[in-house]
Amino acid sequence: VAATILLVEDERKLRELVRSYLERGGFTVLSASSGAEALSLAGSATPDLVVLDLGLPDVPGETVARELRSHSATPILMLTAKASEDDRIRGLELGADDYVTKPFSPRELVLRCQAILRRGGQPAGASFEPTTFGSGELVIDEQRRTVRVRGDEVAVTPTEWGVLVALATVPGRVYSRYEIINRTRGYEFEGYERSVDSHVKNLRRKIEVDAGRPEIIQTVLGGGYRLGLSRDG
């Protein structure tokens, strides 16, 4: 079954261009030209991925992203004309998985969509049994791609999943931001290291008892991050 992408872009020509590339890339595409239309389609059609333009005529794309994030972990790829790093980081802090700055190559956009959805799929060599950490506080089930924390399932985006699985590879080992990007994405591009911090921040809000005093994902000053729980068994 082809993955469904919800494409949200108000500029008709660009929307049609991107749609045709995505369709040639094997995706089923639903499109919306406003934030309101996007939210209604996202609710009724449950897309696998949302490609979201930030400059929309009715509401800012950021508002659409926040609204989507409030009830789902559907991956979001942002299309932004805003080139400053702070703007991009803000988008990632809203829970976007990735962003592409306009003008972009439609082929690259297709590759990014494929990469995000691959991250969400079953990783190669996944174990069949869930792995538990910290006497069961954290359970990572690579087969079902689910995360349980203190008994409750937590919805994570593909990128958050990638970060968590990367850190859980060797609990206690310090992973630099660069290593985390490499393990999570399989490719890297400029200015991305700071974005790891945004994904970690979002993850902490979901899994830590107190995100202000994180114990599961620990920051190592000048080093990176490490998983603060040991593997059980």
Residues in the site for Ca ion, rule: CB under 5 A?
Answer: 10, 53, 55
Pick between residue 8 and residue 227 the one whose CB is nearest to Ca ion. Answer: 8
Q: How far is CA 104 from CA 19, 75, 78, 121, 191, in A?
A: 14, 19, 12, 26, 16
Pick between residue 88 and residue 204 the one whose CB is nearest to Ca ion. Answer: 88
- Residue 62 makes CB contacts below 8 A (sequence gap 6+) with 54, 90, 91, 94
CB of 192 to Ca ion, least distance (A): 24
Q: DSSP label at 123?
A: P
**Pair 226, 172: CB distance under 8 Å:** yes
Pick between residue 10 and residue 215 the one whose CB is nearest to Ca ion. Answer: 10
CB of 54 to Ca ion, least distance (A): 7
CB of 47 to Ca ion, least distance (A): 19
Please give the residue whose beta carbon sits closest to Ca ion in the complex.
55
Pick between residue 80 and residue 184 the one whose CB is nearest to Ca ion. Answer: 80
> What torsion do the CA atoms of 13, 19, 24, 25 make, to the nearest 10 degrees?
130
CB of 9 to Ca ion, least distance (A): 6
Q: What number of other Cβ atoms are within 10 A of residue 77's Cβ?
A: 21
